[in-house]
Structure 1
Amino acid sequence: MPRYEITIEKDACDGIFACLTRDPRFVEGERGLATIDPDGDPIYDCEGDVTDTAERVVATFDDDRMDEAKQAAAACPTDAIVVKEVDG
């Protein structure tokens, strides 16, 4: 299974939350912007590493759900989300 990284640039996110309807790991954060919560999915038990800084949220997963993350990124009207495959 590929390991992939999801990045949300906070400056670009404007809280429209189109991503939330495509992938349940995307949730509304404290500041009214999108963030990622591996436990936010009520159906799948996800494990991921999430780093949340002032500038961005970066999450790394090694499951088979990269397509869902890509759909969430494609739905973002401000292009605040990037999904890419990463090594190891």
Structure 2
Amino acid sequence: MTTEYAISLDRDACDGVFACLVRDDRFVESEDGLATIDGASDGTHAAGDRQTPVDGDVVVAFDDDRIEDARQAARACPLDAIAVTTEGDDA
């Protein structure tokens, strides 16, 4: 079963701990030494047209069965730089 959700990564809060990388392979190290989502190696874009920059954050929408991977990455981040939301969540 697939779920529509968004992953938001606050790159200003990211400190390059990379706890997210081992929990969800859509998180990768960018050229600036911080995490980014889905292969955005320069930290400015992500896969396809699903990425939206919001106030310095990288926000990527997904519709798949990997929401738990994203949630594990968010829980693992010691800086709380990652948020996972679904349409019904309060922002």
Q: Same fold (TM over 0.5)?
A: yes
1:75 has 2:76 as partner: yes
Q: Which runs of 5+ in 2 are unaligned?
A: 40-46
TM-score (norm 1): 0.79
C-alpha RMSD over aligned residues: 2.4
Deviations 1:14-38 (A, max 9, x none): 0000000000000011221111116
When residues 84 and 76 of structure 1 are mapped into structure 2, their CA distance, relative to the original with a 3 A threshold, is same
Counterparts of 1:73 and 1:48, CA distance in 2? 22
Percent identity reads: 54
TM-score (norm 2): 0.77
* Alignment of structure 1 residues 1-88 onto 2, 5 Å: 1-37=2-38, 49-52=50-53, 55-86=56-87
When residues 12 and 32 of structure 1 are mapped into structure 2, their CA distance, relative to the original with a 3 A threshold, is same
Aligned length: 81
Question: Deviation above 4 Å: which 4+ runs of structure 1?
Answer: none
Counterparts of 1:34 and 1:67, CA distance in 2? 19
Q: How far did 1:66 drift? A: 0.2
Aligned-partner residue type, residue 58 of structure 2? V
- 2:42 is aligned to none
Aligned-partner residue type, residue 9 of structure 1? D
